[in-house]
Copies of this chain bind each other. A is one copy, B any other.
Amino acid sequence: MTSLRVLLAVLLPSFCAALPLAADDGMWLLNNPPLAQLKERYGFEPTPAWLEHVQRASVRFNNGGSGSFASADGLIVTNHHVAADAIYKLSTQQRDLLKEGFLARTREEELKCVDLELNVLMSIEDVTAQVNAAVRPDMSAAEALAARDAAKAAIEKESLERTGLRSDIVTLYQGAQYHLYRYKVYTDVRLVFAPEEQAAFFGGDPDNFEYPRYNLDVTLVRAYEDGRPAQVAHYLKWNPAGTQEGDLVFLTGHPGATQRLITMAELEYARDVQVPGALRWLKSREVLLNAYAKRGPEHARRAQDEIRGIENSRKVYDGRIGGLLDPALIAAKQAEETALQQFAQDKPELGAADAWDKIAAAQQVIARHAVRTNFLENYQFNSDLFSVARRLVRAAAERTKPNGERLAEYRDSAKNTFELGLFSAKPIYTDLEQAKLEHYLTIMAMELGANDPVVQLALGGQSPSARAAELVAGTKVGDVAVRRELYAQDAAALARSADPMVQFALALDAQAREARKTIEQQGEVKSQAHARIARVRYAKDGDKVSPDATFTLRLSYGAVKGVDQGGQRVPAYTKMGGKFERAAERANTPPYDIPASWERAKAKLALDTPYNFISTNYSIGGNSGSPTINRAGEFIGIIFDGNIHTLVWNYAYTETQARSVSVDVRAILEAMRTVYGADALVAELLGGR
């Protein structure tokens, strides 16, 4: 729901500065922390033990967020909007946990999530040399991509088999470095506590990316191993004293993606193709789902989680295009690039003078294929049933290939994650599926042209409505048992399947793979060029720029700090009582209504408890749920959003007006005790077990 779930950062409609390395800039690698900056600016020197502790206490929610261990018994805190996907999947027409909230009074009452995977980073290894060794300069883009993919697959597979840990190679600096990340994995994750969504997301879409805020965007889950609560050595102690303005605070979390180090050609692509396409897609879906949701309360419940995600992304991309249309941003990026290019020309020994042209040429190819690839490959026909069918079809084809030649998600190292998703018992609502697929076929025809052969193939001689009805009504892949049967079949058997969705996925597979390959090969071209540009940047500026975000663990630092907004000082902290005041101003109408539990508890609540606070920490979508940590390595809050000025952070960090927004530890404890009567959990959070 709110801003910081994965991959969703943005640029602000009034960017107006050059792009210097500001003081609290950076999303730092845990194996290359900003020691000099921390010492210089805050007089703080984290020890290796401090760094290891916060690393191992940090948790990645593989569905797009962050969190942290909060007790030795595997208790984990994250944002409500990160856990919402899991809560939605546990809800039914009779029991809407998103709306009602949830509290397990005992461990036996904790609810097992359907398909949630958590990752804890155990080690990082630089494998750049090995990955690059596979690629020779005389290779074509196709050959280089294949060679690099094979090398990466081999490293990941070897690591998984040797260590038993999930092993992912992460591409840093757009291709300049490759690091092997190894994770401990938890797939038995249980819901422990969630407030009502209205408590977590008070103010809804209009207040998203705004401050002041009054949100209890918090949920607790627990990791289990072998049917028992996981015992963990590293968890963050909760410090109920919280913070005060000016305090140094850290985030450890998993920012999804930023685009600080892209070239002008890539920036123009974002402005002219990518963001406009994303906005068309998002807004059309937002309209579709809102119209569906208005048909009645159960329709609203079914569409709710997806609507929240779309609203958030739409706000992100609206901000992004606003920034991309700001001449000041474009001029600043151009100046930065011109300086790098000049440096590259002055130092021909770096061999990077033509790197920008290479990227521009590759980006042209990508631009021509982008919309087609989105509709054939990336958007998955906006259908869970299609997505299942495609995975079945591809799994049968891919498993006959050598591991290194497979599409990434079908490699041996990805198998556990793949099967967790494929066999998920998440609810699928066929009426919603049909509405979405009809919409998709319609939009696809409008975007690619009704006479495009793949559109004709997708429609199969029918109207979008008739085609969607036929596919959704006819397929059996909604049944997990059927999926298991089909997963056991080989490609020849699947080709004979009578299931219309399987046949649909088969019919479009060659074109989808081709489109994807085109994009990936151009990505290889760009990676090689970016590696050369990174050498230029390093030669010119040294090691002072952190890599763009990659949904892997990063450390950011900053200070709790108010902000000047429109000539007014906005204090760093809000109070719990402010929520009631704001609701009263808006006539207590959604999304500004107070949940009944809060109304009941109001008289007992310490209304002057700090509720939300802002700090200068650099964050972006994916950071949602990241613990806010003090010098002592203690939990003093949890980030859940940024203000409107952070939308620029996709392209550059600034701290003049931009702030990350956290829930204060004191408010979490006060609400859990006074509103929710979760005393046993509070005891565990404060006692550590």
Contact = CB atoms under 8 A, between A and B. Distances in A.
Interface of A: 13-15, 204-206, 271-272, 275-276, 279-280, 283-284, 286-287, 290-291, 294-297, 311, 314-315, 318, 321-328, 438, 441-442, 445-446, 449-450, 459, 461-466, 585-587, 589, 591-592
A592 to B, nearest CB: 7
Given A294-B204, A297-B586, A461 B327 contact: yes
Nearest 5 Cβ contacts at the A-B interface: A13-B465, A326-B463, A276-B446, A206-B295, A283-B287
Contact of A589 (B271, B297, B327, B585): B297
Given A283-B284, A324-B450, 10 more contacts: A13-B464, A14-B463, A280-B280, A283-B286, A291-B311, A296-B586, A297-B589, A322-B442, A325-B463, A327-B461
Given A13-B463, A442-B321, A450 B272 contact: yes
B287 A325 contact: no
A506 to B, nearest CB: 22
Contacts of A591: 294
B322 A464 contact: yes
Contact of A462 (B284, B291, B327): B327
B321 A465 contact: no
Copies in the complex: 2
26 contacts: A13-B438, A13-B463, A13-B464, A14-B463, A205-B294, A206-B294, A272-B450, A275-B446, A276-B446, A280-B280, A283-B284, A286-B287, A287-B314, A291-B315, A294-B591, A296-B586, A297-B586, A322-B438, A322-B442, A322-B463, A322-B464, A322-B465, A324-B450, A325-B441, A325-B463, A325-B464
B322 A450 contact: no
A17 to B, nearest CB: 13
Contacts of A321: 442, 445-446
A205 B299 CA distance: 14
B206 A463 contact: no
Contacts of A441: 325
Contacts of A272: 449-450
Contact of A442 (B286, B294, B325, B450): B325
**Most B CB within 10 A of own CB, among A204, A294, A465:** A294
A326 B461 CA distance: 8
B291 A205 contact: yes
Contact of A463 (B327, B464, B589): B327
A283 B296 CA distance: 21
A297 B588 CA distance: 10
B325 A291 contact: no
A466 B322 CA distance: 10
A272 B294 CA distance: 30
Contacts of A297: 586-587, 589
Contacts of A325: 441-442, 445, 450, 459, 463-464
B14 A271 contact: no
A655 to B, nearest CB: 20
B465 A14 contact: yes
A466 B206 contact: no
A459 B461 CA distance: 44
A499 to B, nearest CB: 24
Contacts of A295: 206
B592 A296 contact: yes
A53 B575 CA distance: 70
| Residue of A314, A461, A465 with most partner-chain B CB within 10 A | A465
Which one of A206, A283, A325, A327 has the greatest number of beta carbons of chain B within 10 Å?
A: A325
B271 A279 contact: no
Contacts of A322: 438, 442, 463-465
Contacts of A291: 205-206, 311, 315
A287 B465 CA distance: 24
A279 B325 CA distance: 23
A585 to B, nearest CB: 8
Contacts of A275: 446
A276 B462 CA distance: 19
Contacts of A14: 463, 465-466
